[in-house]
């Protein structure tokens, strides 16, 4: 039995992970965490009977009024994540918290040499250099859950690293791919929350609408696969159907892709079972009896609509503190948009300005990243309309 610590169990990825674990053999859940959805966390605890239930938001603890199954302990606060990530009995840490809040627990799992099934892309965007170094020093294995990175991870197995020409990261283009640029200023929260192909948590859905999700994924891919951005080892293609989850091109011109219906349960399952592939799980099949068309469009980087991609490329190339700043500014801008304090088309330019104006450092420590992250959040202001 492989024992899993699932951080962010009550979210979209967390629930899909429990769907997978509940259907396949060989895995059990030792720890689950949730921030505010206490009722769901309690239901999950009743069903999976983990050793630890972690309520990360300490202020919500007084609302906890359930008893837990015998043998299950309730832990409160973020610190419990880093402690439990390092517990000897944990084999796999599923990092599925949203936002920079996932960084410390991901870093703790790397330090403890665990397998990390990584959904929390923000931890690599904000602290890629640190997480990668900790993983390397302590023999931790990061297996991506993000569908594009899972596809790249799988496709890379068709050749040697030295034979890689480039990685082609696909993007659905979000709900506004076909909308003229000048109409983006009128986009409402409800429209931005309607993603055409994926059903996900609020933040990643909004990031997909602005294309900042792809900016984060460019940076995530750079860290995961050690891509040489200067050599052009990463390209983005718009693929509205989200069936080809990404591709890898080798030096002989062969392009290897991974295809499946848009459903996170496959990349989640793969991150748990790798290097094995198993049947009998909840993953969906491609229906080859249906006619279907797959489209690919190269993004036009000169259009405002694709500026997030350009910003992602520049940030990945720069490294250092650029990622943590981009991520913090984006988290703040997204929440300002959800409160109606920022227009949809102001999100990316606001983030760009903050990234360009910050005091760049090439090799920050984790502590320096944390301080800078706080600073960006505290100083965040929405532009005068
Ligand atoms: P979600 O909002 O549905 O769930 C987030 C989880 O994190 C919840 O369990 C919540 O309780 C917890 N959480 C929220 N704030 C927290 C905090 N401050 N401290 C500790 N825990 C906190 O998000 P999601 O869609 O499941 O996404 C999770 C991560 O996976 C994100 O980084 C996202 O980019 C990535 N991802 C998601 C999808 C998807 O299909 N949903 C796909 C690829 C990658
Ligand atoms: Mg993705």
- Per-residue pLDDT tens over the stretch 260-281: 999 999 999 999 999 999 999 9
- Per-residue pLDDT tens over the stretch 127-162: 999 999 999 999 999 999 999 999 999 999 999 999
* Same-domain pairing of 62 and 182: no
* Same-domain pairing of 40 and 70: yes
Which of 79, 112, 144 is the last residue before a domain boundary?
144
8 pocket-lining for ligand 1 (C-beta < 6 Å) = yes
Q: Which ligand is nearest to the CA of 207?
A: 1
* pLDDT, mean over the chain: 97
In a domain, 242, yes or no: yes
Q: Is the pLDDT of residue 195 over 90?
A: no
* Same-domain pairing of 169 and 132: no
* Same-domain pairing of 217 and 310: yes
Nearest residue to 122 via CA among 330, 264, 269, 270: 330
* Same-domain pairing of 99 and 182: no
* Same-domain pairing of 178 and 313: yes
pLDDT confidence of residue 358: 96
* Same-domain pairing of 182 and 315: yes
* Same-domain pairing of 87 and 17: yes
* Same-domain pairing of 82 and 172: no
The pLDDT-based confidence of 385 (bands split at 50, 70, 90) is low
pLDDT confidence of residue 354: 98
14 pocket-lining for ligand 1 (C-beta < 6 Å) = yes
d(CA 373, CA 265): 32
Domain that includes residue 199, residue range: 162-261+298-319
Distance 241 CA to ligand 1 centre (A): 23
From 34, 98, 143, 261, mutation site for ligand 1 pocket: most ligand atoms within 8 A of C-beta: 98
The pLDDT-based confidence of 337 (bands split at 50, 70, 90) is very high
Q: Which residues of 308-334 are buried (b: 16+ CB within 10 A; e: fewer)?
A: bbbbbbbbbebbebbbbbbbbbbbbbb
In a domain, 195, yes or no: yes
220 pocket-lining for ligand 1 (C-beta < 6 Å) = no
The model scores a pTM over 0.95: yes
Q: Tell me if residue 46 falls in helix, strand or coil.
A: helix
pLDDT confidence of residue 197: 86
335 pocket-lining for ligand 1 (C-beta < 6 Å) = no
Closest ligand 1 atom, residue 34 Cα: 11
pLDDT confidence of residue 384: 73
Which of 117, 144, 171 is the last residue before a domain boundary?
144
Distance 78 CA to ligand 1 centre (A): 15
120 pocket-lining for ligand 1 (C-beta < 6 Å) = yes
Main-chain phi, psi angles of 126, to 5 degrees:
-80, -40
Q: 197 CB contacts (<8 Å, ≥6 apart)?
A: 172, 240, 241, 242, 262
* Same-domain pairing of 140 and 209: no
274 pocket-lining for ligand 1 (C-beta < 6 Å) = no
From 9, 12, 199, 338, mutation site for ligand 1 pocket: most ligand atoms within 8 A of C-beta: 12
d(CA 154, CA 190): 35
- Per-residue pLDDT tens over the stretch 65-97: 999 999 999 999 999 999 999 999 999 999 999
- In this prediction, what percent of the chain has a pLDDT beyond 90? 97
Q: Tell me if residue 94 falls in helix, strand or coil.
A: strand
In a domain, 286, yes or no: no
Q: In total, how many domains does the chain have?
A: 2
* Same-domain pairing of 87 and 113: yes
DSSP 127-171: HHHHHHHHHHHHT-EEEE-SHHHHHHHHHGGGS-GGGEEEEEEEE
200 pocket-lining for ligand 1 (C-beta < 6 Å) = yes
């Amino acid at each position: 039995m492989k024992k899993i610590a699932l951080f962010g169990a009550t979210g979209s990825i967390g629930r899909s992970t429990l769907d997978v674990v509940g259907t396949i053999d060989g895995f059990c859940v030792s720890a689950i965490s949730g921030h505010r959805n206490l009722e769901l966390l309690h239901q999950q605890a009743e069903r999976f009977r983990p050793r630890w239930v972690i309520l990360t938001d300490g202020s919500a603890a007084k609302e906890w009024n359930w008893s837990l199954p015998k043998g299950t302990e309730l832990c409160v606060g973020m610190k419990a994540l880093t402690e439990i990530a390092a517990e000897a009995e944990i084999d796999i840490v599923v990092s599925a918290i949203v936002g920079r809040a996932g960084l410390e627990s991901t870093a703790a799992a790397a330090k403890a040499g665990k397998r990390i099934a990584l959904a929390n892309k923000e931890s690599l965007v904000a602290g890629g250099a640190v997480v990668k170094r900790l993983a390397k020093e302590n023999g931790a294995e990061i297996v991506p859950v993000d569908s594009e990175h899972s596809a790249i991870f799988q496709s890379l197995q068709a050749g040697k690293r030295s034979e890689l020409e480039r990685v082609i990261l696909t993007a659905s283009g979000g709900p506004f791919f076909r909308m003229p640029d000048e109409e983006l200023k009128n986009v409402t929260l409800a429209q931005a929350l309607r993603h055409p192909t994926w059903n996900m948590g609020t933040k990643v859905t909004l990031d997909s609408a602005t294309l900042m999700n792809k900016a984060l994924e460019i940076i995530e891919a750079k860290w995961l696969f050690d891509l040489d951005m200067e050599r052009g080892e990463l390209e983005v293609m718009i693929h509205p159907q989200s069936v080809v989850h990404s591709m890898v091109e080798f030096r002989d011109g062969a392009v290897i892709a991974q295809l499946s219906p848009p459903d996170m349960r496959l990349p989640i399952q793969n991150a748990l079972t790798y290097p094995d592939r198993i049947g009998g799980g909840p993953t969906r099949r491609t229906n080859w009896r249906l006619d279907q068309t797959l489209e690919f469009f190269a993004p036009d980087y000169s259009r405002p609509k694709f500026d997030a991609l350009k910003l992602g490329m520049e940030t990945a190339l720069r490294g250092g503190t650029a990622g943590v700043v981009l991520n913090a500014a984006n988290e703040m801008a997204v929440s300002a948009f959800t409160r109606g304090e920022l227009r949809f088309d102001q999100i990316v330019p606001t983030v760009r300005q903050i990234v360009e104006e910050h005091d760049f450092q090439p090799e920050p420590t984790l502590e320096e990243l944390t301080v800078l992250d706080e600073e960006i959040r505290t100083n965040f202001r929405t532009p005068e309309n």
